[in-house]
């Protein structure tokens, strides 16, 4: 199976290239390109890419991508939420613990979830000031930190 980032790039390219009216059509195009994915995975990809549907001017709707400026602004919002809320990051094996300021665990977890980091399986926001991050098999906490620093250059050790 091809990696998620490559698949997301293909989704963007297909939406820009073709007039796609349904997830089924998009799923078929992706499968022709060799991607093995479910409709649920495609739905998550479309949500992550902030894909919308607009009227085609006749009697149907087609998928569309947000403008580049809008996408960068959204990512910057998540980066700011993360930087505003986190206190420290520590790890053991494939488990990362992010300590946050009181009341910021939800926004920090949401930011990690939405920054499109392939190394992350998911997050769990604690009740108040802790976020647990589960990493993919073979990914270390150090790998995660390096990726976070690439994504958020302002991140301190």
Banded pLDDT at 117 (limits 50, 70, 90): confident
Mean pLDDT of the chain: 87
* Burial zone of 16 (CB within 10 Å; 0-12 exposed, 13-18 middle, 19+ buried): exposed
Q: For the chain, which domains are there? A: 4-64 (1.10.10.10), 70-151 (3.30.1360.40)
pLDDT tens-digit readout, 74-93: 777 888 999 999 999 999 98
Interatomic CA distance for residues 151 and 15, integer angstroms: 25
* pLDDT band for position 8 (cuts 50, 70, 90): confident
Distance CA 124, CA 106 (A): 9
Q: How far apart are CA 102 and CA 49, in angstroms?
A: 30
Q: What does the pLDDT average to over 123-140? A: 93
**Residue 111 main-chain phi, psi, to 5 deg:** -60, -45
């Amino acid at each position: 199976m091809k990696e998620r980032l490559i698949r997301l790039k293909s989704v963007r390219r297909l939406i820009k290239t073709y007039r796609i009216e349904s997830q089924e059509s998009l799923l078929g195009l992706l499968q022709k390109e060799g991607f093995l994915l479910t409709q649920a995975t495609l739905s998550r990809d479309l949500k992550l890419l902030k894909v919308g549907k607009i009227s085609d001017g006749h009697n149907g709707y087609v998928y569309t991508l947000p403008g580049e400026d809008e996408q960068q602004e959204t990512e910057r919002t998540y980066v700011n939420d993360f930087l505003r809320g986190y206190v420290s990051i520590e790890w053991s094996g494939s488990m990362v613990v992010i300590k946050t300021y009181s009341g910021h665990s939800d926004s920090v977890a949401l930011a990690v979830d939405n920054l499109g980091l392939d190394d992350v399986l998911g997050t769990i926001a604690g009740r108040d000031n802790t976020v647990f991050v589960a990493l993919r098999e073979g990914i270390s906490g150090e790998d995660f930190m390096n990726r976070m620093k690439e994504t958020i250059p302002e991140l301190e050790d």
